[in-house]
């Protein structure tokens, strides 16, 4: 993950003169087919959700929304950064 973040930051600097932005999205727990081992287990899902400040596991739509924001004009002055989409998990001490 650190390598991808560093690559994105490097691209942000190199491509900025051409108005090309580069950012990294860091997703937290997300229900998806890749996570079927716990996403399809109601007890495991409830246990994981209890540790997430927003009280639920993320969805693919949550991640897509972050992507759409970074692609939009509303993010025109954002480059070289990481957007954490984890329901507040990393906000915990």
pLDDT at position 42 is 87
Give the mean pLDDT of 65-70: 98
Q: Are 41 and 31 in contact (CB under 8 A)?
A: no
Compute the average pLDDT of residues 44-58. Answer: 94
Q: Hey, is 20 helix, strand or coil?
A: coil
At 5 the three-state DSSP class reads helix
Domain 2-91 adopts which CATH fold? Rossmann fold (3.40.50)
| pLDDT for the residue 37 | 77
Distance between CA atoms of 23 and 31, rounded to whole angstroms?
23
Model pLDDT for residues 9-42, shown as the tens digit of each residue: 999 999 999 999 999 999 999 988 877 777 788 8
| Pick from 78, 80, 61: nearest CA to 70 | 78
Q: What is the mean pLDDT of residues 59-78?
A: 98
Q: 16 forms bridges with which residues in the sheet?
A: none
Q: 71 is written with which tokens?
A: 């692609």
* pLDDT band, very low/low/confident/very high, at 1 (cuts 50, 70, 90): confident
- Residue 57, Cβ density class (10 Å: 0-12 exposed, 13-18 middle, ≥19 buried): buried
Domain parsing of the chain, residue ranges? 2-91
């Amino acid at each position: 993950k650190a390598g991808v973040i560093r690559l994105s930051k490097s691209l942000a600097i190199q491509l900025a003169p051409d108005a090309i932005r580069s950012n990294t999205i860091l997703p937290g727990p997300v229900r998806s087919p890749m996570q079927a081992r716990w996403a399809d287990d109601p007890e495991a899902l409830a246990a994981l959700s209890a540790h997430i400040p927003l009280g639920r596991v993320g969805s693919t739509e949550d991640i897509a929304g972050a992507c759409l924001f970074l692609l939009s004009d509303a993010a025109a002055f954002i480059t070289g950064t990481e957007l954490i989409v984890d329901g507040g998990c990393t906000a915990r001490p």
